[in-house]
Amino acid sequence: MPKHPLNLEDYRQLARLRLPRLVFDYVDGGAEDELTLRRNRAAFEAIRLRPRCLVDVSRRRQATSLFGVAMDMPLLVAPTGLNGMLWPGGDLALARAAARANVPFVVSTAASATIEEVAEAGGNLWFQLYIVSRAMADSLVERALRAGYKTLVLTVDVPVSGKRERDARNGFVQPFRITPSTALDVLGHPRWAWQIARHGAPQLKNMASAEASDIDTQSALLARQMDASFSWDDLRRLRDRWPHRLLVKGVLNAEDAARIAACGVDGIIISNHGGRQLDGASAPIEVLPAMTRAVQLPILLDSGVRRGADVVKALALGASAVLIGRATLYGLGARGEDGAYEVLQLFKSEIDRVQALIGCPDVAGLDATFIDTSQ
């Protein structure tokens, strides 16, 4: 394995070596046959860039702003859960890496650190909300508000949890338990096992608060059993309740996007949950052009982003910014905070190189003219 990773796949392989299989597969895997997981990559790979020549690209700029907040590149660290399994204090490490790179970090409801602990790490912090129960959601929203978060991200593509067969086969459960089969897996990764033993097994800390003290709620939280009744009236109620920026994540239908926009949200995140929910879903990059025609809000995108060229393609097709989830987790799993930061800088350097090669010195100038539409 490479001592000096050159690309994201190198970080992925380093993470695979360091982590037990059940932990790596939790990060790496998708739902059912993983058709959506593969389609996310195939969709990006099918897009061809159309470069321009004789453009002065001696100076190139990745810096941009989103909702009036400056960032060093049009990239965010997506919300992901149980990051403490990859590295002790995983969510705090990601928050610090994002702050070092001057990009937003979206902390998940299913984080291994509390909303308040992550807020103390500083940076441009967003909070992602799962609706497990109405009372719990109200409590989380109030806590995020008190902790100073200015952006709330409501995830709407998890009315039930996707069928992640790798996790089922590996005996992955929450709370974390050691079985004979997982014990052998863990013993084969002594460095990881020592770190977990030293720092304690990760918990869903936002879900283990005083507001979730009854057994039924606690069980639902740990099993990620969402409130499947959450609907349009509830979105409007959340809009009324939250006084700052509100985005809706998990949208793949342009008609839904238009209706969401009419509810007064500030932005939309096109996502299929990284292929971890509905197997056979469209790839976000495929529906991006229809979304940009349907709404005039900032549109962000995640799922399947593995290279700086993917970010450039998404921006050229109308995205305001792109979120990466597994990418920074591979860095975190390989090298902790430094690994996550290195992945962010890798993306920045790849974006920069693609800009030079297609003749676009500023990411603000990316548009559909850089995409080969003859395909």
Active site residues: 273
* Residues 124, 98 contacting (CB under 8 angstroms): yes
* Residues 340, 328 contacting (CB under 8 angstroms): yes
Tokens 């990418």 appear where? 327
SS3 149: coil
User: What distance in Å separates the CA atoms of residue 332 and residue 86, rounded to the nearest whole number?
Assistant: 7
Provide the angle, in degrees to the nearest 10, between the axes of the packed helices 21-28 and 180-187: 90
SS3 169: helix
Q: Are strands 125-129 and 105-107 parallel, antiparallel or unpaired?
A: parallel
Query: What are the beta bridge partners of residue 49?
Result: 371
User: What distance in Å separates the CA atoms of residue 57 and residue 53, rounded to the nearest whole number?
Assistant: 10
DSSP state of 371: B
SS3 109: coil
Work out the end-to-end distance of the chain between its first and last CA atoms, rounded to an integer number of angstroms.
37
Provide the angle, in degrees to the nearest 10, between the axes of the packed helices 134-147 and 215-222: 70
The torsion angles phi and psi of 70, rounded to 5 degrees, stand at -70, 145
DSSP state of 159: S
